[in-house]
Amino acid sequence: MSEAQQKATNVHWHEGAITREDRHALLGQKGCTVWLTGLSGSGKSTITVELEKVLVMNSRVCYRLDGDNIRMGLNKNLGFSADDRVENIRRIGEVAKLFGDLGVITTTAFISPYAADREICRKLHEDAKIPFFEVLVDCPLSVAESRDPKGLYKKARAGLIKNFTGIDDPYEAPAEPDVTVDTSKLSVEECVGEIISFLQSRDILPKDIDLKKKP
Ligand SMILES: Nc1ncnc2c1ncn2[C@@H]1O[C@H](COP(=O)(O)OS(=O)(=O)O)[C@@H](OP(=O)(O)O)[C@H]1O
Ligand SMILES: Nc1ncnc2c1ncn2[C@@H]1O[C@H](COP(=O)(O)OP(=O)(O)O)[C@@H](O)[C@H]1O
């Protein structure tokens, strides 16, 4: 599984007249990517939905990229083979980088099971000088399976879904995530609070974020 090589030849970067700084000044914020990774049912979607609410309530421009949703559009031509998962994550890394260039705080909720692919996304961001933070949404397989919010583990155990992550497909947890939230021990609000605190410690967010602000 190696980084995709560029196929097209005779292509040239075309510089714009508006800079990233111009865009960030317009939005009043800098972009970054908050990359959640974890088993199906670990809590990625639930956390990013709540995180987005807190960010938007505190006047931050944020966008949520979610595995199931993206697989109904941009990545509808991809399945769950190893090669397709690599391409899935590569495209999401590129999209998140573009949003970061725009100045958006992007959250991603993909299993993203392969460490090498997440590293490629990190490097893509680092090369573009856009902050990239990896969040391990941690939870024992037994807990994720007991939640089974979409009934997929049951189907996988019955052999109705092949190559299901954690059952008959690998999940490589990050060795050194920027943040770890254990969803078998913390509430959704506590997980969101941990991520917000981390972003504050990195000066992505101001200190006065109100976690309970309502519309
Ligand atoms: N074989 C198999 N393995 C894992 N997951 C499966 C599979 N088939 C379908 N699903 C559903 O697809 C969601 C995972 O999509 P992702 O794009 O996040 O996967 S990956 O990052 O490319 O591995 C995953 O969503 P989450 O449960 O939110 O993680 C499942 O709803
Ligand atoms: N601390 C927590 N964080 C996120 N989800 C939690 C937490 N505790 C319990 N849950 C529950 O676990 C399930 C996680 O499902 P989901 O967010 O779809 O996971 P994923 O997107 O990783 O597949 C939801 O039913 C959610 O209510």
**DSSP assignment string, 45-79:** HHHHHHHHHHHHHTT--EEEEEHHHHTTTTTTT--
Which atom number of ligand 2 is nearest to the Cα of residue 186? 1
Nearest ligand 2 atom to the CA of 185 is 1
Q: What is the pLDDT of residue 157?
A: 98
Report how far ligand 2's centroid is from the alpha carbon of 188 (Å).
Answer: 8
Please confirm, yes or no, whether 146 is among the known catalytic residues: no
Cβ(163) – ligand 1 distance below 6 Å: yes
One CATH from 1.20.810.10, 3.90.76.10, 3.40.50.300, 1.10.3470.10 for 28-202: 3.40.50.300
Give the chain's end-to-end CA distance (angstroms, integer): 45
Q: Where are the domains of the chain?
A: 28-202
pLDDT at 2: 57
For residue 68, how many other CB atoms are within 10 A of its CB?
11
Cβ of residue 68 lying under 6 Å from some atom of ligand 1: yes
ipTM of the complex: 0.99
Q: Under the phi-then-psi rule, with left for phi > 0, alpha for psi from -120 to 50, and beta for the rest, what region is 13?
A: beta
The low-confidence residues of the chain, meaning pLDDT below 70, are 1-2
Helix (H, G, I), strand (E, B) or coil at 92: helix
Q: Could you tell which of 35, 45, 46, 49 is best to mutate to test the pocket of ligand 2, judged by most ligand atoms within 8 Å of the CB?
A: 46
* pLDDT of amino acid 54: 98
Give 80 Cα–ligand 2 centroid separation in angstroms: 21
